Structure 1
Amino acid sequence: MFKSTLLLALATAATARKCQNLNIPISISATNTAFNLPPPATDIDVTNLLINLAVDGTNLFNSIVVGPKNVSGHYTIGATYCQPDHGPGKALQILTHGAGFDRSYWDLSFNNYNYSYVARAVDEQGYSTFSWDRLGVSASSKGDPVNEIQQPLEAAALEKLSMSLRDGSVHGINAKFDKFIHVGHSFGSALTYGFIHANPDFSDAAILTGFSQNPNFVTGFLLGGNYGPVKDNAVLAAKYPCGYITPKTATGVQIDFFGPGDFDPKMLANTFAIGQPSAIGEFLTLGSTGVNDFKGHLYIVTGDRDLPFCGGSCYDTTTIQGAFPNLLDASKPNFPSVASFNTTVVPGGGHGLNMGYSHKFTYDSMFNFLSSY
């Protein structure tokens, strides 16, 4: 009897969601920024560039910028679509990962998928999910890491994919949705921020994770990650061109992405092993400021010990103007048109929220938000 029950449970778990990997051709264009900057090829080159960017990014930017540059091309995007075993979910969540990762950030296999956001979203909550490798990362097309793989072109990719998903024109997805939720992490949150501003009526809700609009803490992230050229990483060197950078050690990953005491050491090793590099052009063009015209429901969730967006404490508001309980709530004036605005600071959480012990708290808060409207 016990054996039969166990087998039934395993069979049920195995069919709880259906996923398929996709390679999606897109044609996009964007106005990037042209830089007079050779791709950093050595450890010294990378370190010098990041020191200059961290210490005085404005002067560095002005010294190397040439002007706007129109970029267009045909690219392929690697993606994964998942839905409940009974069919399409009640809404489609479009998941955009941040720097240092690929789409596996949302569906981590570590500890039998115990940390997987997709498993929670699809199996327990009944959503469909679409996760994609950002342009220039992992299974998606690569490009010039200085003048091509930049935030504007990646934003164009997100917009193209979103419109195609709404139209039902993505080959391999036999479903058409009328309800969308955009979810981002870190750089992916910046892309999501830009998308919902440019398309304020598209998404019913948006969730920005590992995010604030405080620009004062980039120095710790750039220098704490101990970045080096991708050519020095034996696993990644064959997949990425010169000009991509990646943490050289697990210690760099820990500093940038994990809160002290909030992680399994084996997860840290796993994160370092599956990490993906970042293009220099992304560091030079990152931005998500100003008033946003989004009209849906907005939620920001970030770990209290987040380094790049909170400087290690989201409750330390000494670096901002105005009276706010935390750095996340300081974004509220920038969203004057939203249907609702909510934030959560995750106790003990670091920047890589999905990889910490606190991930359950994070996911619970996200789904509580989604069930509240």
Structure 2
Amino acid sequence: MFKSVALVAFATAVAARKCHDLTIPISISARNAVFDLPALVSELDVTNFFLDFVRPGVNTTDKYLTGYKTVSGHYNIAATYCQPDHGPGETLQILTHGVGFDRSYWDYPYDHYNYSYVAEAVDEHGFSTFTWDRLGVGASSKGNPINEIQQFLEVAALTELSTLLRKGSVKGINAKFSKFVHAGHSFGSAITYNFVNANPTFSDAAILTGFSQNPNFLAGFALGGNFKPVKEVPCQAAKYPAGYITVPSSTGVNIQFFAPHDFDPKLLTYATENGQAAAPGEILTIGAGTGVVNAFKGHLLIVTGNEDVPFCGGNCSDTTTIQGTFPDLISFSKPFFPHASSFKASVIPGGGHGLNLGYSHKLAYNSIFDFLKSSL
């Protein structure tokens, strides 16, 4: 849709790192699902959709699926690149956010960036980072929320961005990197899972946060959010076209992302006021490809808060649903990575689904950077 690259540099008050914003044009295609689902424009539409989505014995994706079609397009991706003040790091981390957020999830501005993963990665450990607004979200190009903005096309976007970054072809990033780490959160972890499966030797390490391969608990996330049409939520209505859906209240955001006693109530308010919408096509394809054995050959870490609702039902240590075959629900993923150079599962005590935003975020960061120190 756009043919030029816009680069907007901004001064950052954070010591030891330099960041600038990018707008990156990409041309991509993917084999998307075709869903016979009318646009979700009323609250009743959205409510009925989620009641269908969580109904036991009903595969809602299959219910609406009529086939597959190649979707192609030209899109603009909003991104931010950061590096240490002294110059680019040897390793680039490519970070993909989940539902409800944009790329600021990784460099959260609340409380003077106290909850910034990027600050920790760049300032304390010397990495360069690349964060991006997923296709269809934030400042990136939007699209049809049912048959265009799906996990498949977003994986294609991550693949194209990663290829451009490896080649050194992104205008505004004057650096070449010898190592790459892909990390995701929640839906961003599902996208990362599919990327490393299709490109098993691209990344030296991959990190999946807010993730498990136990599908039994998504109902809590889906219903707890009390989703509404985005046009009925004033703080987001102007940002998205009709047909997108979003969480309208702090109660919904709390249930979905924050564990009891692990968060600043003012941060919850901030997260609610600055939340982002989702496409129903993303919801219908959220688990696509994540139940298959992964071909990834690099080092793999999964780190999830013990009280994560969508992936652990609020208790990753309760192994009833996996018949006690592994010590926790995160370790259950180990057989899915038979080719990985190493596998580590980390459960963060007291942590919720929005791992970066809890008081326990430092425990999560320690787990991640200890893993990277031993793996790279």
> Residue deviations 1:16-69, cap 9 Å, x none?
100000000000000000011111111111011001111147443333211001
The 5 A counterparts of 1:100-111 are 100-111=100-111
CA contact (8 A) 2:12 2:18 kept: no
Q: How far, CA to CA, are the matches of 2:13 and 2:124 in structure 1?
A: 11
Structure 1 residue aligned with 2:272: 272
- 1:53 paired with 2:53, answer yes
Letter in 2 for 1:353: L
Q: CA deviation at 1:236?
A: 1.5
CA contact (8 A) 2:230 2:242 kept: yes
The 5 A counterparts of 1:21-60 are 21-56=21-56, 58-60=58-60
Secondary structure at the residue paired with 2:74?
strand
Q: How far, CA to CA, are the matches of 2:12 and 2:307 in structure 1?
A: 38
Q: How far, CA to CA, are the matches of 2:334 and 2:186 in structure 1?
A: 18
Structure 2 residue aligned with 1:73: 73
Aligned residue pairs, count:
363
CA contact (8 A) 2:61 2:285 kept: no
CA contact (8 A) 2:235 2:273 kept: no
Q: CA deviation at 1:153?
A: 0.2
Q: How far, CA to CA, are the matches of 1:35 and 1:310 in structure 2?
A: 29
> Residue deviations 1:218-252, cap 9 Å, x none?
11110001110000011211221122111111000
Secondary structure at the residue paired with 1:136?
coil
Q: How far, CA to CA, are the matches of 1:58 and 1:67 in structure 2?
A: 18
Q: CA deviation at 1:286?
A: 1.3
Q: How far, CA to CA, are the matches of 1:333 and 1:92 in structure 2?
A: 28
Q: CA deviation at 1:84?
A: 0.4
- 1:300 paired with 2:315, answer no
The 5 A counterparts of 1:40-189 are 40-56=40-56, 58-189=58-189
TM-score by length of 2: 0.94
Q: How far, CA to CA, are the matches of 1:354 and 1:305 in structure 2?
A: 14
Letter in 2 for 1:313: N
Secondary structure at the residue paired with 2:81?
strand
> Residue deviations 1:282-305, cap 9 Å, x none?
010112111001010000000000
Q: How far, CA to CA, are the matches of 1:300 and 1:347 in structure 2?
A: 14
Q: CA deviation at 1:323?
A: 1.5
Q: How far, CA to CA, are the matches of 1:87 and 1:319 in structure 2?
A: 48
Q: How far, CA to CA, are the matches of 1:315 and 1:151 in structure 2?
A: 29
Q: How far, CA to CA, are the matches of 1:57 and 1:226 in structure 2?
A: 22
Q: CA deviation at 1:122?
A: 0.3
| Gap change, CA 1:365 and 1:315, over 3 Å in 2 | same
Q: How far, CA to CA, are the matches of 1:15 and 1:306 in structure 2?
A: 32
Which blocks of at least 5 consecutive residues in structure 1 are unaligned?
Answer: 1-10
Q: How far, CA to CA, are the matches of 2:237 and 2:301 in structure 1?
A: 37
Q: Matched residues, percent identical?
A: 65
Q: CA deviation at 1:340?
A: 0.5
Which blocks of at least 5 consecutive residues in structure 2 are unaligned?
Answer: 1-10
CA contact (8 A) 2:77 2:135 kept: yes
Secondary structure at the residue paired with 2:19?
strand
TM-score by length of 1: 0.95
Q: How far, CA to CA, are the matches of 2:235 and 2:212 in structure 1?
A: 32
| Gap change, CA 1:188 and 1:14, over 3 Å in 2 | closer
Structure 2 residue aligned with 1:281: 281
Q: CA deviation at 1:322?
A: 5.9
Q: How far, CA to CA, are the matches of 1:158 and 1:345 in structure 2?
A: 27
Letter in 1 for 2:36: N
Q: How far, CA to CA, are the matches of 2:24 and 2:56 in structure 1?
A: 39
The 5 A counterparts of 1:189-228 are 189-228=189-228
| Gap change, CA 1:56 and 1:85, over 3 Å in 2 | same
Structure 1 residue aligned with 2:251: 251
Q: Which range moves more in the overlay, 52-61 or 330-339?
A: 52-61
Q: How far, CA to CA, are the matches of 2:279 and 2:56 in structure 1?
A: 19
Letter in 1 for 2:50: L
Structure 2 residue aligned with 1:4: none
Q: How far, CA to CA, are the matches of 2:37 and 2:153 in structure 1?
A: 18
Secondary structure at the residue paired with 1:44?
helix
